[in-house]
C-alpha cells in the first residue's frame, strides 16, 4: 500500500505535543497519518510514497464545522438581511422546509458538503432538522457519503408542517443502515432543541431524548441554546445527569453564570456560531467565547444557516477574533464590561480544528496532524497575491487565506480537492441540479 509524502512546507499540526515545523514533512499511508517530522524522506514507509512538494505552502488540519443546516444550501443567501431569529424561523422553517422532497434534501446537503470541502472543511456536522420522512433522512446521509466528506448526520424532526412522526424512533434504523456509511466517514448523532418554546416539547432535549441517545450510544447536539429559558433547562439537565462530554450546546448566548458553571463542571461541549450570533442577533448577539473559556470550555466553531450567512470557516475565525478583541478593548476603556484576556489567531484556529473535532465527538480521529490520526488535511498556497510572503503560518491561515488559496484537501487519505479544484465534481451539472431544485421550491411557495 503506497502512501503520500508531503514535503518541504510549513506544517501547523495543532498538536501541542508535536508543535509546528517551519519546514517539515507529513507522511500519509492509507487513511492515516504515519509520521510528522523535519525530514521523513528516509522513513521506511516513505520508500514507495508519492512525493508532493509543499514548499511555499502551509500544511494544516482540515477545518471542522460543528453545526450547519446543510439541507438549506440551495436557498443560500435568500434572506441576506434577515432581521432576527423569528423571521428566519417563520420563513425558512415555517414556509420553505415543508416544501422539501427527499431529492431536495439530497441536493442541498450535497451542495453544502462540497462547498465545505472546497473551503477546507474536512468534517461537517449536518444538523438535519427537516427529517419529514425516513426517505428525507436517507437522502441527506447519502449526500454526505457521496461527497467524501467526514460527515456527522445529526437527525431531528421538523419544527412545523406535516411529517411522518418517525423521529426519534427512526434513529435505530438510521444507525443500523448508515452508521459508518461512506467507507466509514459518516456517523449518526441525535439533534434536539434546548426548550419547547419554538416547536413544542417533542423536539426539546430532556430525559426522553437523552434515553434514546444513550440506548443507541449516540452523542447529542442541542440547538437554539440561549437566554434565561435555556439557562433554566441546563440547570435541570445538571440535576438529572444529562450534561457531559457527549452533549454539545450550540450558540450558548445570554446564559446565566450558574448555567456556565454547570457546563464547565461536567465537560459539556459548546459550538459557537460567530457570524450567526452577531448578524441574526441571537440573544446578546455576542459569541460566548469568553464565558466558555472562563469555565474551561474551549469551543468548536460552526457555519449555521447559509440562507443568511457565509459558508466558510475563515469568516467564522475572523468574526470571532474581531468581536472578542473588540469586547476586551472596550473593557479596558471603561465600558463597565469585564476585561477578558484577548484571544489569539492560534486560539481561533484551535477552535476551528482540534476543538471542533472534540466537540463533534471525533476528537480521537481528526482535528490535528498527529501520527495515528485520520489523514484529514489541507495544503494552502502561501505565495498567492493575498498570502505572500509567508511570515507566520497561523496568521496566514486565519487572517490572510481563503478558499481560493486551498490547493489540496485530503479526507481519510483521499484527495478531494487538487490543484485548487474539487476532484470528480461536475460543476455545471451540479449547478443545473441545484438551480432546478431551488426553482421548484420557489414555485411551490408561490402556489400556496
The span from the CA of 442 to the CA of 448, in Å, is 10
User: Residue 2: what pLDDT?
Assistant: 76
Answering whether pTM is above 0.85, one says yes
Nearest-Å Rg of the Cα atoms of the chain is: 21
Q: How many CA atoms lie within 13 A of 391 on its CB side?
A: 6
Q: What are phi and psi of 349, to 5 degrees?
A: -70, -35
Q: Which fold has domain 63-359?
A: TIM Barrel (3.20.20)
**Domain range list for the chain:** 3-61+365-422, 63-359
Dihedral through CA 188, CA 190, CA 193, CA 195, nearest 10? -170
User: Residue 340: what pLDDT?
Assistant: 81
User: Residue 329: what pLDDT?
Assistant: 85
User: Residue 102: what pLDDT?
Assistant: 98
Identify whether the C-beta of residue 43 lies closer than 8 Å to the C-beta of residue 69: no
The span from the CA of 51 to the CA of 41, in Å, is 9
Identify whether the C-beta of residue 429 lies closer than 8 Å to the C-beta of residue 110: no
Cell of 10: 510549513
Closest residue by Cα to residue 97 from 68, 125, 140, 132: 132
Cell of 3: 502512501
The span from the CA of 239 to the CA of 296, in Å, is 20
Q: What are phi and psi of 419, to 5 degrees?
A: 50, 35
Q: What is the DSSP letter of 445?
A: H
The top-level CATH class assigned to 3-61+365-422 is mainly beta
Identify whether the C-beta of residue 87 lies closer than 8 Å to the C-beta of residue 121: no
The span from the CA of 109 to the CA of 141, in Å, is 8
Question: How many residues would you count in the chain?
Answer: 448
Cell of 383: 505565495
Closest residue by Cα to residue 374 from 353, 398, 394, 401: 353
User: Residue 332: what pLDDT?
Assistant: 65
Q: What is the DSSP letter of 412?
A: T
Which three-class secondary structure state does DSSP give residue 349? helix
CB-based contacts of 30: which residues, under 8 Å, 6+ apart? 1, 3, 375, 413
Task: Give the chain's residues under pLDDT 50.
Answer: none
User: Residue 221: what pLDDT?
Assistant: 98
Cβ atoms within 10 Å, residue 212: 18
Amino acid at each position: 500500500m503506497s502512501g503520500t509524502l508531503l514535503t518541504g512546507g510549513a506544517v501547523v499540526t495543532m498538536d501541542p505535543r508535536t508543535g509546528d515545523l517551519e519546514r517539515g514533512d507529513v507522511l500519509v499511508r492509507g487513511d492515516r497519518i504515519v509520521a510528522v517530522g523535519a525530514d521523513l524522506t528516509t522513513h521506511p514507509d516513505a520508500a514507495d510514497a508519492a512525493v508532493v512538494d509543499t514548499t511555499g505552502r502551509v500544511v494544516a488540519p482540515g477545518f471542522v464545522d460543528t453545526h450547519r443546516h446543510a439541507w438549506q444550501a440551495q436557498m443560500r443567501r435568500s434572506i441576506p438581511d434577515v432581521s432576527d431569529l423569528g423571521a428566519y424561523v417563520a420563513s425558512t422553517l415555517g414556509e420553505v422546509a415543508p416544501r422539501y422532497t427527499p431529492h431536495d434534501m439530497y441536493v442541498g446537503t450535497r451542495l453544502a458538503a462540497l462547498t465545505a470541502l472546497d473551503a477546507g472543511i474536512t468534517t461537517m456536522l449536518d444538523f438535519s432538522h427537516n427529517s419529514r420522512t425516513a426517505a428525507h433522512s436517507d437522502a441527506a446521509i447519502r449526500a454526505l457519503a457521496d461527497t467524501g466528506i467526514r460527515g456527522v448526520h445529526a437527525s431531528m424532526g421538523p419544527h412545523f408542517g406535516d411529517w411522518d412522526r418517525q423521529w426519534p424512533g427512526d434513529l435505530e434504523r438510521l444507525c443500523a443502515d448508515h452508521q459508518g456509511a461512506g467507507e466509514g466517514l459518516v456517523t449518526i448523532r441525535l439533534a434536539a432543541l434546548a426548550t419547547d418554546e419554538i416547536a413544542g416539547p417533542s423536539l426539546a432535549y430532556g430525559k426522553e431524548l437523552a434515553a434514546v441517545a444513550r440506548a443507541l450510544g449516540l452523542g447529542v447536539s442541542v440547538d437554539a441554546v440561549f437566554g434565561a429559558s435555556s439557562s433554566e433547562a441546563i440547570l435541570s439537565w445538571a440535576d438529572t445527569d444529562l450534561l457531559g462530554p457527549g452533549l454539545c450546546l450550540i450558540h450558548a448566548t445570554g446564559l446565566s453564570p450558574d448555567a456556565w458553571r454547570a457546563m464547565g463542571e461536567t465537560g459539556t461541549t459548546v459550538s459557537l456560531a460567530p457570524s450567526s450570533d452577531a448578524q441574526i442577533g441571537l440573544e446578546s448577539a455576542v459569541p460566548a467565547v469568553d464565558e466558555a473559556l472562563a469555565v474551561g470550555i474551549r469551543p468548536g466553531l460552526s457555519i449555521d444557516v447559509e440562507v443568511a450567512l457565509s459558508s466558510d470557516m475563515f469568516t467564522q475565525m475572523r468574526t470571532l477574533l474581531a468581536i472578542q478583541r473588540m469586547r476586551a478593548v472596550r473593557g479596558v476603556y471603561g465600558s463597565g464590561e469585564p476585561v477578558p484576556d484577548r484571544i489569539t489567531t492560534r486560539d481561533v484556529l484551535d477552535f476551528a480544528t482540534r476543538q471542533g473535532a472534540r466537540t463533534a465527538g471525533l476528537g480521537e480521529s481528526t482535528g490535528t496532524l498527529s501520527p495515528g490520526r485520520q489523514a484529514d488535511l489541507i495544503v494552502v498556497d502561501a505565495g498567492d497575491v493575498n498570502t505572500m510572503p509567508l511570515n507566520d503560518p497561523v496568521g496566514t491561515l486565519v487572517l490572510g487565506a481563503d478558499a481560493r488559496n486551498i490547493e489540496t484537501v485530503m479526507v481519510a487519505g483521499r484527495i478531494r480537492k487538487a490543484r485548487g479544484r474539487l476532484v470528480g465534481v461536475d460543476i455545471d451539472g451540479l449547478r443545473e441540479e441545484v438551480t432546478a431544485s431551488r426553482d421548484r421550491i420557489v414555485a411551490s411557495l408561490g402556489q400556496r
